[in-house]
Amino acid sequence: MTSDLDPAIAARLKRSPDGLIPAIAQQYDTGEVLMLGWMDDEALHRTLTTGRCTYWSRSRREYWVKGDTSGHVQHVRSVALDCDADTLLVKVDQVGAACHTGARTCFDADVLPLGQ
């Protein structure tokens, strides 16, 4: 779809074949990695301009403002593009749990065994 994203930014993005870029959400002060979501140009535009993290849901095929349903809002503190312009790091202030399971982060529950 068309997007209001700044064309100077859009021109630099390297998207996956489905037009998306992975976005890592990190708690700005503690450094916790909270979750990984996906953004297209418009989701990035909304994230940069509204102060609220907006993702593209690959399963529901719709925009998804984090916290609109759960109340677990992500207030945007900064957004950085990586050296290859194919990954975003979004530093946020996470209200409540980032994970839909109620865990603080999506990575809390399932640590894999090393050395096997």
Q: Which residues are annotated as a binding site for Mg(2+)?
A: 82, 84, 86
Residues in contact with a copy of itself, shown as a per-residue x/- string from 25 to 44 under the rule CB under 8 A: -x---xxxx-xx--------
Residue list for the binding site for Zn(2+): 83, 99, 106
Q: Would you state the structure tokens that stand for residue 42, as one six-digit string?
A: 């418009």
Q: Which helix or strand (DSSP H or E) is residue 45 part of?
A: helix 41-50
Verify binding: residue 51, a copy of itself, rule CB under 8 A: yes
Nearer Cβ to a copy of itself (63/105): 105
> Residue type for 76, please?
V
* Shortest separation between residue 90's beta carbon and a copy of itself, angstroms: 10
Q: How many CB atoms lie within 10 A of CB 70?
A: 14
Centre a 10 Å sphere on the Cβ of residue 51 and count the other Cβ atoms it contains: 13
> Which residue, chain included where needed, has tokens 């100077």?
8
Q: Please give the size of the binding site for a copy of itself, defined by CB under 8 A.
A: 42
Are residues 31 and 93 in contact, defined by beta-carbon separation less than 8 angstroms?
Answer: no
Separation in Å, CA 73 to CA 8, 45, 69, 90, 94:
28, 17, 9, 13, 6
Q: How far is the CB of 41 from a copy of itself (least distance, A)?
A: 12
Min dist CB 67 to a copy of itself, Å, is: 17
Q: Binding residues for a copy of itself, per CB under 8 A? A: 6, 9, 16-17, 22, 24, 26, 30-33, 35-36, 48-49, 51, 76, 78-85, 87, 89, 99-101, 103, 106-116
